[in-house]
Structure 1
């Protein structure tokens, strides 16, 4: 399975968040009265809060982050996740992992983007295995944002169980590294609500 990650990394550099927001706002505005009200709020937010945001986000040296890419009609957007911050939140909130048979969670691994050369793998187990599942971001499929190799190795070794922290829809909002990722995610929730008349 070939991964699109390298294509996404390039294409996401040219994404215009402002253009995307305006496109979504215009669609919501035309859809319904409810959409027009949400569009007005998003227009205010765009003009007041997002003008100073940098895109693409600059990932800090020495901090573990993860990029998850989303394809929109306006281009490819890079959502940035703070993996170190997510791990800290797991400890602070005493969140418990879920036990999975590796064959049941291997679907969360983007195997086309998995480095399978043992000489090039640098094990980093300071952060736990984390999987997101969101109808707005992953089409309701599980997607591993940390621990791909651990899931893959557990699957390959026929291990009976692996501990995975699973976060759905709004549960992982605190993991977004930057304000633009968070705002774009909320915009997509509102957009889905309006265009699909939820």
Structure 2
């Protein structure tokens, strides 16, 4: 299986957040009276605070982040997640991990992007294994944002259990590294709810 990361990295460079927002806003406007109200709110947000946001985000040197690429009709968008910040939040909030059998969490790993040559792997275990699950970004499937190799190795070695921090839907909003990632995610939640007539 070929890795799709390089393709997504390239395609995401050409993504236009403004076009994406306008497209979603227009669809919501047409859907219903409620949709038109939500669309109006987003148009105001777009004009007041998002036009000055830099995209794609510049990842800081020495700070661990993760790029989650999501395909939309308007193109591939890069959501920037702050892994160091997520680790700090885990410690501050006293969040507890979940014990998984590696065979029950291996599907969260994109194995096409795993470096399987042990001589080229640089272990970095300063941050724990983290998985997000979102009906808006991951089709409600778990997706590993940190610790892919550890899950893969635990699975390959037939380990009994591995500790994983799992965050769903709004729980991982604080991990977004930049305002644009956070607002795009909120837009997708509103869009999903309007299109499916959920309030």
Q: TM-score range by the shorter chain?
A: over 0.9
> Helix, strand or coil: the match of 1:59?
coil
Aligned residue number for residue 155 of structure 2: 155
Report the alpha carbon displacement of residue 2 of structure 1 after superposing the two structures with TM. 2.4
Matches within 5 A, 1:103-122: 103-122=103-122
Aligned residue number for residue 56 of structure 1: 56
Aligned residue number for residue 32 of structure 2: 32
1:91-130, CA deviations, whole angstroms, 9 ceiling, x for partnerless residues?
Answer: 0000000000000000000000111111111000000000
| RMSD of aligned residue pairs (Cα, Å) | 0.5
**Partners in 2 of 1:120 and 1:56 — Cα distance?**
28
TM normalised by structure 2 equals: 0.99
> Helix, strand or coil: the match of 2:189?
helix
Report the alpha carbon displacement of residue 5 of structure 1 after superposing the two structures with TM. 1.0
> Helix, strand or coil: the match of 1:171?
helix
Aligned residue number for residue 179 of structure 1: 179
> Helix, strand or coil: the match of 1:54?
coil
Report the alpha carbon displacement of residue 138 of structure 1 after superposing the two structures with TM. 0.2
Report the alpha carbon displacement of residue 3 of structure 1 after superposing the two structures with TM. 2.6
TM normalised by structure 1 equals: 0.99
**Partners in 2 of 1:170 and 1:84 — Cα distance?**
18
Point out where structure 2 has 5 or more consecutive residues left out of the alignment.
Answer: none
**Partners in 1 of 2:77 and 2:138 — Cα distance?**
13
Aligned length: 198
Point out where structure 1 has 5 or more consecutive residues left out of the alignment.
Answer: none
- Which structure 1 residue ranges, 4+ long, deviate > 2 Å from structure 2? none
1:66-113, CA deviations, whole angstroms, 9 ceiling, x for partnerless residues?
Answer: 000010010000000000000000000000000000000000000001
**Partners in 2 of 1:117 and 1:17 — Cα distance?**
37
> Helix, strand or coil: the match of 2:85?
helix
Aligned residue number for residue 142 of structure 1: 142
